[in-house]
Amino acid sequence: MDRRSLIAAGLAASIIVDRAGAQTPPPVSLKGQLPGLPQPSETIDLWPKGAPGTPAKALTEKVDERSTDSLITDRAVYGITRPRMAAFRPDRPNGAAVMITPGGGFRWVVVDKEGYEMARWLSARGFTAFVLFYRLPGEGWASGPDTSLADAQRAMRLIRHRSKDYAIDPERVAAMGFSAGGHVCADLSTRFAAKVYEPVDAADQHSAKPHSAAPVYPVVSMDPAIAHAGSRTLLLGANPTPEMEAAHSPDRNVPADAPPHFLLHAEDDDTVPVDNTLRLHAALRAKKVPVEMHLFANGGHGFGLRKTLGKPVESWPELWRAWSRTIGLA
């Protein structure tokens, strides 16, 4: 690298640091940064004056490293008090963005397997990716079961508000979520117009409706017959009323103007029954909302990208990408 290139690279790095300097950094693995893996270029805090409805019992953000492989990180974050997005900028932006909501059963947010790995895949193909560290509804926030939705709505609006900073078309911002994060994604795609927090600045003038939504092996229904029990309890409490179950089951709240959906599930999922996706598919079709669904015989739960190798379900990201072209996202 010659002297001019070195100076330019240093200047670019300083701009990124300055832009992100006042923001909460992403969690750090105890293994440090693994070589060869792109890391988020910056983070964006959602709430300039702090998240609303602080729990009575103070929370401390913690990171559990669950991987025993020295070359793979598998972090789970909980006690999130400063919800934020980690941004992955592509070298050649295609003008589209995807907001990712990782899973974790509402116990925590899974950073790597259903967050950073998907963000790297997307950014390598021109999409600007934002991994959302959302607050967990079972940790005492005043907004209760709407806590994660409030963060998702605010994040979608912030992406649109800052679209010029990222070379993004504000009309082409999609949502993608996995497992419990799939519930956050589906909740956003069906209740994007619900008022779940008070506006805080100009960003809240934007719509929270995603261009399109891709809930992947999602928690959807709060019906005890098919609900993921742990997610249901952390979202609604131990003894929710039928009205609460209905209000927080995305399949029962699909509006006629819901965005196009891409649904994906493995039929041998023994954690979140495939019936969750089937009910959402039926509800979308009943409202004549464009929907594409892919069911795989094998895959289990939580496959993301890393657990698909050698299986037919390995094709799912390219299926989503091909679908995204048909709806004008890519």
Q: Is the CATH number 3.40.50.1820 carried by domain 41-326?
A: yes
pLDDT tens digit at each of 330 positions of the chain: 443 333 333 333 333 333 434 577 766 655 555 555 778 879 999 999 999 999 999 999 999 999 888 778 899 999 999 999 999 999 999 999 999 999 999 999 999 999 999 999 999 999 999 999 999 999 999 999 999 999 999 999 999 999 999 999 999 999 999 999 999 999 999 999 999 999 999 999 999 999 999 999 999 999 999 999 999 999 999 999 999 999 999 999 999 999 999 999 999 999 999 999 999 999 999 999 999 999 999 999 999 998 888 899 999 999 999 999 999 998
**What pLDDT sits at residue 19?**
42
**What pLDDT sits at residue 15?**
34
**What pLDDT sits at residue 24?**
78
**What pLDDT sits at residue 13?**
37
- Residue pair 222/245 in contact by the 8 Å Cβ criterion: yes
Taking residue 242's Cβ as centre, other Cβ atoms within 10 Å add up to 9
SS3 content of the chain, % helix, strand, coil (to 5): 35, 15, 50
Task: Give the span between the Cα atoms of 117 and 158, in whole angstroms.
Answer: 22
Nearest-10 Cα torsion for 278, 283, 288, 294: -20
- Residue pair 296/263 in contact by the 8 Å Cβ criterion: no
* 3 state DSSP class of 293: strand
Q: Look-up: residue for tokens 């926030």?
A: 141
**What pLDDT sits at residue 32?**
56
**What pLDDT sits at residue 31?**
55
Which tokens is 286 given? 């009943």
Task: Give the span between the Cα atoms of 52 and 81, in whole angstroms.
Answer: 10
DSSP string, 37-59: ----SEEEES-TT--SS--SS--
pTM: 0.91
Proportion of the chain above pLDDT 70, given as a percent: 90
**What pLDDT sits at residue 180?**
98
Pure H helices in the chain = 3-20, 117-123, 147-161, 180-190, 229-236, 242-247, 275-286, 316-326
**What pLDDT sits at residue 6?**
35
Query: End-to-end distance of the chain based on CA atoms, in angstroms?
Result: 34
φ and ψ of 238, to 5 deg:
-75, -30
User: Quick one: 60 exposed, middle or buried, by C-beta within 10 A (0-12, 13-18, 19+)?
Assistant: exposed
Proportion of the chain above pLDDT 90, given as a percent: 82
76, β-bridge pairs: 64, 110
